[in-house]
Structure 1
């Protein structure tokens, strides 16, 4: 059936990733069109990312499996970044204007949010006392607090990777 419909397993998995990407893109468009401010948009988005990583932990493995095929490597590397990085760029710009956020590379925000959400899904066993919804709520609150603390002008520190400078030497 896979061969008949998609040609091979890689094409089937690629079609699945494209479908997920289009769903993410539609959700982001709805979020941007909402009357929510940047902080509320960030909170809602992070909650959705965390929830999706917990519900579909195979997503990262799927992407890794597809990356092994040379034909898919570049497409998969950018499949979500091409949608999320421009969203983060607009969100950060609006946050600078409305909330006084400092300048931040949207690619780093993308990697930070995806990395945190991916890790918590892999470390689910660390939170046996929490059902999925409580873990999503708790981790979202924690992650958004970290992000907003890092985005606030008061939280700005010289020589950080987020500002684009490189640190060298011990402890870098």
Structure 2
């Protein structure tokens, strides 16, 4: 599951700031999706399979130590309403969490675009959220920042 790079170069390439050559040997960054205090989030394509993935890039550093264990936490989770972690790629300066791409955007955007949600759809999503939270809590995992901006929508029907 983890792939520790022997790549010693830390020079970053153009548009892919935060991605080191060891990462770019396997993935092509398609676009930036977002950024947080300690992370960059990018849409990428696996070069061998062509599968689109989301890559969360964490810069290593003492100030973000609590976030560096996110991969260890996610690796044990397997639930239909929790994003799957495919791979953790660690290089000298970064940790790349390669995750499932749901494809439907953020829940917050869906709410804004549709002028709210129908009650039936809202109930369905709420039940999915509760099921995922219950599962995570049973696995001793707690999400510390639950909000619609941090939830994604599956593009599959």
Report TM bin, short chain: under 0.3
- Report the TM-score when normalising by structure 1: 0.26
Name the structure where helix makes up a greater proportion of residues.
1
Higher relative contact order (CA 8 A, sep 6+): 1
* Bigger Rg, structure 1 or 2: 1
Name the structure where strand makes up a greater proportion of residues.
2
